[in-house]
Amino acid sequence: MIEQFTRYGLTFRTVEEADASFILALRTDAVLSRFLSSTEPGIATQKEWIREYKKRENRNEEVYFVSLNWQGERQGLNRLYNYKDDCFEIGSWLYKAGLDISVPVLGDLAARDYGFERLGFACCNFGVRKDNLAVLKYHQGFKPEKTGESELDYYFRLSYDDYKTHRNKLLKLLNHV
């Protein structure tokens, strides 16, 4: 099953095995991967991971999107998973270096819109590495509730109402209102 939608000028479709090299390139990039959990190297391993993911996708447990620009070029990744009660978790937010500043942000907003508005969840959970300061600052703009921490990460929960307030502010600055 391939889920696809377009939002904020980006097209999102669920990942396929053909995306393995793109995913691997992002997740093993020395700069981009600084704050990620480790990724097994090798295309074959990545394809196997995607095959297992597709099973979860078909059980409506998870969606992993690759975003494309209007020319169909892959821009980045967003994943929604851990659907529990009325919350989803968001992660695997990873975009190519050198894009316009709006692209990764719009990708994040579109993915969260999908979780809140398409899937109908009331809140979004996420974790951020404590030393990933730029991402931490970005997320804190939404004023999420801190729900815990580990040695490496802070954990947050964001309600749909709080999300919408800051989303609309960002969209205005990005000329998408």
Partner 1 sequence: MYEDKFIENFKSQFIDGDTIAVDASTDFRQIESWDSLTGMAVLVMIKDEYGIDMSDTDLKKCKTVGDIIDYVSAKSN
Work out whether 105 is an interface residue with partner 1 (CB under 8 A). yes
Contacts of residue 32, defined as CB under 8 A and 6 or more positions apart, other chains included, come to 26, 94, 97
Contacts of residue 69, defined as CB under 8 A and 6 or more positions apart, other chains included, come to 9, 10, 11, 75, 103
Residue 20, burial from CB neighbour count under 10 angstroms (0-12, 13-18, 19+): buried
Work out whether 135 is an interface residue with partner 1 (CB under 8 A). yes
- In terms of CB distance, is 28 or 132 closer to partner 1? 132
Q: Are 147 and 156 in contact (CB under 8 A)?
A: yes
**152: number of Cβ within 10 Å:** 13
Q: Which of 26, 80, 103, 158 binds partner 1 (CB under 8 A)?
A: 103
- In terms of CB distance, is 75 or 125 closer to partner 1? 75
Work out whether 104 is an interface residue with partner 1 (CB under 8 A). yes
Cα angle, residue 158 at apex, residues 85 and 113 outer, rounded to 5°? 85
Work out whether 95 is an interface residue with partner 1 (CB under 8 A). yes
Work out whether 169 is an interface residue with partner 1 (CB under 8 A). yes
User: How is residue 175 written in tokens?
Assistant: 């000329």
Q: Which of 137, 143, 147, 168 binds partner 1 (CB under 8 A)?
A: 137
- In terms of CB distance, is 25 or 99 closer to partner 1? 99
Q: Which of 105, 106, 142 is nearest to 126 (CA)?
A: 142
Work out whether 99 is an interface residue with partner 1 (CB under 8 A). yes
Count of chain residues binding partner 1 (CB under 8 A): 21
Work out whether 127 is an interface residue with partner 1 (CB under 8 A). no
Work out whether 100 is an interface residue with partner 1 (CB under 8 A). yes
Binding site for partner 1 (CB under 8 A): 95, 97, 99-105, 133-135, 137-138, 141, 169-170, 172-175
